[in-house]
Each structure stands twice: as structure tokens, then as C-alpha cells.
């Protein structure tokens, strides 16, 4: 006699959520691609000596969601909940890209990246933020952030941002080996938007005084003029 029981759904059949939001996300969690063993297809290096992505996120559900998604993108990862944990881990393990929440309990993701930059660490960093306020955007720009992800974000947006950051890490590593300076990559649209907001806010605060605006932004006057040509209406 046939059973009325329905077969259990496979994990890939379950709709996934947007990262950082309770609503359903229609795409399944990406599956590991054939050939993703040992050597990462995006970075071109193996994961034995470290990981591709260090996730610094104090929201446990979001951190776990991202870590579960990474293998399907061909990326390895580790997760920690605080900037202090990240500093300790980075003394023991290599991570090619940082995925940082701007706001953490204790020191922020911005504090962490500023400290790393002060020590000469140039690895790419992608920021997660609930909203990109101007002061945070200014600090992130000074730290040469690779991208911003605003909650809630989709898996496609996450994969795109991390792929860009991994390519940037590989270019930087190759340039260092060759003894050459790496040409700066084209900034993503989200970073362009953050720069434009920061620029317009600085000009408004200074009454249009370009020299004072440049000082507030921590950039040279020439860089400010370049930003004006590109971002100002």
C-alpha cells in the first residue's frame, strides 16, 4: 500500500533568506562547484595555509549564514564575533579578505581595519552595514574599503563583492611578488555612492570651501577635484 508520506525536501530545495532579514530569499544556497578541491578558483591559491574570508560579525545567525554560503562560492572561511577575536586569529592564521560588520560589540569593524592599515596590512575588506552614514563612509574610504554591503543583502550581492575583493587580493599579491605597485581597481557602484554622499556632505558643511572639505575628508585637494569631476552633479 503506497505511503502518504511526502519525501523530505533536500537542503538545496529550501528557499533561503536574505542575509540580515527575515523575508524569504528565492534562490537556493549555492552548491560547491566541481573541481573546488584544494585550490580556490577565485584566488588561485589553496586554503591549507589560511582561509579566503574572515567573517567578523557579532550577529550569530548572520555569521553562520555567510559561513554556510562560502563553500558554494568556492571560498573557505572562518568566523569570529569581535574585533579582538579577529586580531588574535590573524596572528595565527592567514585570511585573504576581511568581511567586517561596521558595528560590533566593543571595537568596531572600522577600528579593526584602521589598526590593520596602520600596521601596513593592505588586505581587501568588505563592510557590512545596516546603513552607510557619512562619518562611517569617510572612515571606510580612508581605509580603502573594497566594498559595502547594506543589510539586507542577497547571496548574489555577497558573492559579487567577495569575488571582486579576492581578485584584488590576488592582483596585490602578484604585484608585490613582482615588485610593482598594483593599479587600483575600478570602484564598485556602492563605493561610488558612498564617496558621493561623503563629498556632498563635506561641501555642504563647509559652505562649498573645497580646501576645508578636502581636510575634513582626509584627502588631498587634487583628489577632491577628481571626485568633483566624477561624482558631483
Averaged pLDDT for residues 157-176: 80
Averaged pLDDT for residues 26-48: 37
CATH value at residue 200 = 1.10.10.60
Residue 109 lies in a domain: yes
Number of domains, the chain: 2
Averaged pLDDT for residues 65-78: 95
The closest of 224, 226, 200 to 214, measured between CA atoms, is: 224
Q: Write down the residue that cell numbers 536574505 correspond to.
A: 18
- pLDDT greater than 60 at residue 233: no
Averaged pLDDT for residues 164-186: 60
Residue 69 lies in a domain: yes
- Containing domain of residue 193, as a range? 189-231
**Which residues neighbour 79 within 8 Å (Cβ) at sequence distance 6 or greater?**
54, 55, 56, 57, 63, 64, 66, 67
Instruction: Note the pLDDT of residue 2.
Output: 52
Residue 44 lies in a domain: no
Give yes or no: residues 99 and 193 share one domain: no
Instruction: Give this prediction's pTM.
Output: 0.60
Residue 140 lies in a domain: yes
Residue 1 lies in a domain: no
Amino acid at each position: 500500500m503506497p505511503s502518504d508520506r511526502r519525501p523530505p525536501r533536500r537542503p538545496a530545495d529550501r528557499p533561503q533568506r536574505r542575509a540580515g532579514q527575515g523575508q524569504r530569499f528565492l534562490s537556493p544556497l549555492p552548491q560547491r562547484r566541481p573541481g573546488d578541491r584544494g585550490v580556490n578558483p577565485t584566488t588561485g591559491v589553496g586554503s591549507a595555509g589560511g582561509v579566503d574570508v574572515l567573517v567578523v560579525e557579532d550577529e550569530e545567525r548572520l555569521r553562520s549564514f555567510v559561513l554556510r554560503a562560502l563553500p558554494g562560492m568556492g571560498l573557505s572561511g572562518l568566523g569570529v564575533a569581535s574585533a579582538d577575536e579577529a586580531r588574535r586569529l590573524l596572528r595565527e592564521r592567514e585570511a585573504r579578505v576581511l568581511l567586517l560588520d561596521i558595528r560590533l560589540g566593543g571595537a568596531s569593524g572600522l577600528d579593526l581595519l584602521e589598526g590593520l592599515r596602520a600596521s601596513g596590512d593592505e588586505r581587501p575588506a568588505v563592510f557590512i552595514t545596516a546603513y552607510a552614514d557619512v562619518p562611517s563612509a569617510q572612515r571606510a574610504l580612508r581605509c580603502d574599503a573594497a566594498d559595502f554591503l547594506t543589510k539586507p543583502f542577497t547571496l548574489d550581492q555577497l558573492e559579487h563583492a567577495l569575488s571582486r575583493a579576492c581578485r584584488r587580493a590576488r592582483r596585490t599579491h602578484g604585484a608585490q611578488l613582482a615588485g610593482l605597485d598594483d593599479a587600483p581597481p575600478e570602484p564598485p557602484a556602492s563605493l561610488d555612492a558612498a564617496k558621493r554622499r561623503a563629498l556632498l556632505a563635506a561641501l555642504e558643511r563647509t559652505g562649498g570651501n573645497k580646501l576645508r572639505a578636502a581636510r575634513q575628508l582626509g584627502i588631498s585637494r587634487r583628489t577632491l577635484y577628481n571626485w568633483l569631476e566624477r561624482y558631483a552633479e
